[in-house]
């Protein structure tokens, strides 16, 4: 009898420990999600609402305040032309965040479509599309972006298309693997037996099943888009002057930092860092929540 109680107690303790771990995991995931979402909303408010409240225009030149350090009048200082850095940072945030969002949407749409076609199609279509995808994944993304950015007229539309069309292969592989796993489940087989077509199955069952994972990857993808756009802008291949982007402001400030204009690189760099941090925190929180629900 004693031995039975001893053998039963550890299992009860394990279950209690597992429940406690799940609660802590869920609380950590919720706090991480909240922090990431709040930070991203703050950056969006700063970029879109800020210019309507701030008195200076991003293109206005203050000739008597060239390279002024941060002070009460210009909280983030001015650049080499006397333009207010805070105003340009707000306008740059609009371009950077909007391009990152729409490029992520384009990459998600392209990758999901490609992956589900491969996963739901005949075996020969799957093999052909996957070999093509392996070839695309073998090409360095940065080299492709620099090549096309150098030959395509630069603008918000072209940069959105460029970033979106070079970033979808990873999403496509994920979508294909999830499609292959989902299409063998009983409810999908039952739908097929009742005459549901491939498009209906993809829209009703497969896309719904992979939606949580897609949302998680979308947050990480947007962080990659912000980093990629900032890298192109830093190389002079992004948004062109006089229009602003965070990477472009960082590139301009890098050449002037040697003369002590530290504010020209600190504030754009901080904006890029906070945007990437926000999306990664949001993605990590969503991923932790998804893993916590799967372990219950």
| Residue 70, in any domain of the structure | no
Q: Which residues contact 80 (CB under 8 A, 6 or more apart)?
A: 66, 67, 252, 256, 261
Q: Under a CB-based contact definition with an 8 Å cutoff, are residues 221 and 203 in contact?
A: no
CATH number, domain of 88, equals: 1.10.3720.10
> How confident is the model at residue 50, as a pLDDT?
92
Instruction: Give the span between the Cα atoms of 69 and 79, in whole angstroms.
Output: 9
| Residue 11, in any domain of the structure | no
Instruction: Give the span between the Cα atoms of 207 and 113, in whole angstroms.
Output: 10
Please give the angle made by the CA atoms of 104, 131 and 120, to the nearest 5 degrees: 70
> How confident is the model at residue 78, as a pLDDT?
92
Structural domain containing residue 220: 18-62+75-294
State how many domains the chain has.
1
| Residue 278, in any domain of the structure | yes
pLDDT in single tens digits along all 296 residues of the chain: 444 444 444 455 544 544 554 455 445 666 888 898 999 999 999 999 999 999 889 888 888 888 889 998 899 999 988 999 999 999 999 999 999 999 999 999 999 999 988 888 888 888 999 999 988 888 888 788 888 877 877 788 889 998 998 989 989 998 888 888 887 777 777 777 777 677 777 777 778 888 888 888 889 999 999 998 988 888 888 888 778 899 989 988 888 888 888 999 999 999 999 999 999 999 888 887 776 655 45
> How confident is the model at residue 6, as a pLDDT?
42
Alpha carbon 31 to chain centroid distance? 19
Alpha carbon 98 to chain centroid distance? 11
| Cis status of the peptide bond prior to 242, with omega within 30 of 0 | yes
| Residue 138, in any domain of the structure | yes
| Residue 143, in any domain of the structure | yes
Give the per-residue SS3 of the chain.
CHHHHHHHHHHHHHHHHHHHHHHHHHHHHHHHHHHHHHHHHHHHHHHHHHHHHCCCCCCCCCHHHCCCCCCCCCCCCECCCCCEHHHHHHHHHHHHHHHHHHHHHHHHHHHHHHHHHHHHCCHHHHHHHHHHHHHHHHCCHHHHHHHHHHHCCCCHHHHHHHHHHHCHHHHHHHHHHHHHHHCCCHHHHHHHHCCCCHHHHHHHHHHHHHHHHHHHHHHHHHHHHHHHHHHHHHCCCCCCCCCCCHHHHHHHHHCCHHHCCCHHHHHHHHHHHHHHHHHHHHHHHHHHHHHHHHCC
| Residue 7, in any domain of the structure | no
| Residue 236, in any domain of the structure | yes
> How confident is the model at residue 18, as a pLDDT?
43
- Token readout for 113 is 């479509």
| Residue 157, in any domain of the structure | yes
């Amino acid at each position: 009898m004693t031995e039975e109680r001893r053998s039963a107690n550890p299992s009860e303790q394990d279950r209690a420990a597992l429940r406690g771990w799940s609660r802590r995991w869920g609380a950590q995931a919720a706090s991480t999600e909240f922090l990431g979402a709040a930070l991203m909303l703050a950056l969006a408010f700063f970029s879109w609402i800020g210019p309507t409240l701030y008195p200076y225009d991003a293109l206005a030149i203050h000739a008597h305040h060239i390279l002024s350090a941060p002070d009460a009048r210009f909280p983030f200082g001015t650049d080499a032309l006397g333009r207010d850095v805070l105003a340009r940072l707000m306008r740059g945030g609009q371009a950077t965040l909007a391009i990152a969002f729409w490029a992520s949407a384009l990459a998600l749409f392209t990758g999901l479509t490609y992956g589900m076609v491969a996963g739901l199609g005949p075996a020969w279509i799957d093999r052909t599309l996957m070999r093509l995808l392996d070839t695309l994944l073998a090409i360095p993304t940065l080299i492709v972006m620099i090549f096309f950015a150098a030959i395509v007229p630069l603008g918000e539309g072209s940069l959105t298309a460029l970033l979106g069309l070079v970033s979808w292969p990873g999403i496509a592989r994920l979508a294909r693997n999830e499609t292959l796993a989902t299409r063998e489940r009983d409810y999908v087989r039952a739908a097929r037996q009742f005459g549901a077509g491939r498009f209906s199955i993809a829209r009703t069952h497969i896309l719904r099943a992979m939606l949580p994972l897609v949302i998680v990857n979308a947050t990480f993808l947007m962080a990659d888009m912000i980093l990629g756009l900032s890298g192109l802008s830093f190389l002079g291949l992004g948004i062109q002057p006089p229009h602003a982007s965070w990477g472009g402001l960082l590139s301009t400030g890098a050449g002037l930092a040697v003369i002590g204009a530290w504010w020209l690189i600190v504030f754009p760099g901080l904006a890029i860092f906070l945007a990437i941090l926000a999306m990664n925190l949001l993605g990590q929180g969503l991923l932790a929540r998804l893993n916590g629900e799967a372990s219950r």
